[in-house]
Structure 1
């Protein structure tokens, strides 16, 4: 039932954004059609998760801050979306294990590596936890750039080509390597936001 509702709601959201908001989508073909994948996007609005889910043809399991699950209405929506909570104020081992399990099951994990909603014109520095997941999982990462959700321009979702973090050590990154890995991912997202 949840999968049916997910597909139905995604199609409705896609229709609304494309018809009423004239949303422009590019790069949908860049999502690998099998295997574990991480979606990494900039984050500017509460509309970002449903928007991304609606334009991709594979279900996306979003990691969402635990506070959202305290709202009864949002909790139902998050349940349908098969999202799961993360405690941003600590090293949430349970959330990390859940994320890695999703990838091991050849599913799609959705992350907003900035950790919170930010300015539409600027991508903030990425959180260490998101970078760690990207490096450790060794799955393809698909960058996404969203723009004009808040401004008057045409809403645009640019989906980039998949890449991996295989040039970085799988474990025990030095502080410098961690910064380089974060910057490597951030630059790909920024490029799509500015396209």
Structure 2
């Protein structure tokens, strides 16, 4: 309910702050479960993806954001799952992610696991591969290019063709996560703002 009410306001804010170019909307399915995987270069990334996608997206966020009672209520209401990055046990948030996907909804994830500057190379986490393999759900790779400080800065959101994990000959989660991240980096390179 709150998500639906806030989305038009959020969309207006994002359109005022950025000049957005969206490439590849034809790759976005209108139904069925989906994992959205994107690079993570700013705090605006989840907002941008939520505005670009017509369907609601569930995300994970660090547990520190949930310490305040109001923020805990707010983030929960807009489909954000708390995850403790310091803990080695992440069973509860992963189970929540699996339930979301098994109910046919959209789950968003940043394979790098943290914000990374443009060009920074980080070993992706295994989460995107684990969730995709456990649910046999396609992954939609998205590259976010050009987020900078200031008003009306240009930004590109590039959506690539779906990755169907069942069609890949990749046997381990680390390799699959690297494959997904490489696809995102390819989109980023192909549609660089310098072109």
Query: Do both share a fold (TM > 0.5)?
Result: yes
Q: Does the 8 Å contact 2:143/2:187 carry over to 1?
A: yes
Are 2:157 and 1:154 equivalent residues in the alignment? no
- Matched with 1:190 is 185
- Matched with 1:65 is 62
SS across alignment from 2:59 = strand
Q: Does the 8 Å contact 2:21/2:157 carry over to 1?
A: yes
User: RMSD across aligned C-alpha pairs, in angstroms?
Assistant: 2.0
Paired with 1:24 and 1:17, the residues of 2 have a C-alpha distance of: 12
- Matched with 1:99 is 97
Are 2:66 and 1:80 equivalent residues in the alignment? no
| 1:1-195 paired onto structure 2 within 5 Å | 2=1, 5-72=2-69, 74-88=71-85, 89-150=87-148, 154-166=154-166, 167-168=168-169, 173=171, 177-194=172-189, 195=191
Paired with 1:116 and 1:71, the residues of 2 have a C-alpha distance of: 21
Q: Does the 8 Å contact 2:83/2:90 carry over to 1?
A: yes
The two structures have a TM-score, normalised by structure 2, of 0.85
Mind listing any 5+ residue stretches in structure 1 that lack a counterpart?
A: none
| Structure 1: 4+ residue segments shifted above 6 A | none
Give the number of aligned pairs.
186
Paired with 1:28 and 1:122, the residues of 2 have a C-alpha distance of: 26
The two structures have a TM-score, normalised by structure 1, of 0.85
Q: CA-to-partner distance for each residue in 1:157-181, whole Å, 9 max, x for gaps?
A: 1111111111257xxx5xxx33321
Mind listing any 5+ residue stretches in structure 2 that lack a counterpart?
A: none
